[in-house]
Amino acid sequence: MTGPAVIKAVTVAAAAAITLPLLIIVLVTASPAPQAAVGLSGVTALAEAGIPPGGGRPAGKVAATAIAFAKAQLGKPYQWGAAGPDAYDCSGLVYAAYAAAGIRLGRTTYQWRQDGPVVPLSQIQPGDLLFSAGSDGTPADPGHVVMYLGGGQVIQAPQTGQDVQVDPVDLASVVVATRPAGLAAKPSPEPHETPAQEASS
């Protein structure tokens, strides 16, 4: 091989030696991007649905199912002791909503201790239940319950003469909040007899 040919061969080899590692570095650096995008879209979807990420599954799915059921009852009349499908009282609405999500709650507001872990009012999330004394209960034995929807709103079956509706949350009247979705990872309690009707507000 002559002098100029040797110089040309060495130049090509050197260029290839530099280009190949650069190509490998670019490929390795770029490959994680699609995974990051997938993770971000999942968090965004949860946030848009009002479901906190992290512990959102299966509890988030349970809460979302209960909320969707409750919203489907909007406009149906309040009837004391009713748990659907044509009318509801306050606890009948949340009882039926969580039953649709596979969670068994106490049938009356007085059984609130069966309705999931207690949560501070500063940490309430969509699907949580907010209990108040109501017109015929007490702080120790609440007589009314609503479901928190997020964004400062609740859904409830208020009282005789009113329909299932969405209202602003009134935290000042709330005496305890529970998270039924927290029961999703636990076995359902054994069925037991409960009063046929509940305290109404």
- 158-173 pLDDT tens trace: 999 999 999 999 999 9
DSSP H helices in 101-187: none
81 vs 145: CA distance, rounded Å: 14
Q: Sign (positive/negative) of CA torsion 80, 86, 90, 95? A: positive
Is 90 catalytic? The answer is yes
Does residue 40 have a pLDDT over 90? no
pTM of the model: 0.66
Q: Which of 144, 162, 165, 192 is catalytic?
A: 144
Does residue 142 have a pLDDT over 50? yes
Is 192 catalytic? The answer is no
| Percent of the chain residues past pLDDT 70, beyond the cut | 63
Is 156 catalytic? The answer is yes
Does residue 92 have a pLDDT over 60? yes
Phi, psi torsion values for 12, nearest 5 degrees: -65, -45
Q: Which of 90, 123, 125, 192 is catalytic?
A: 90
Which tokens in the block code for residue 39?
A: 């993770």
Q: Which of 35, 156, 159, 165 is catalytic?
A: 156
Amino acid at 123: Q
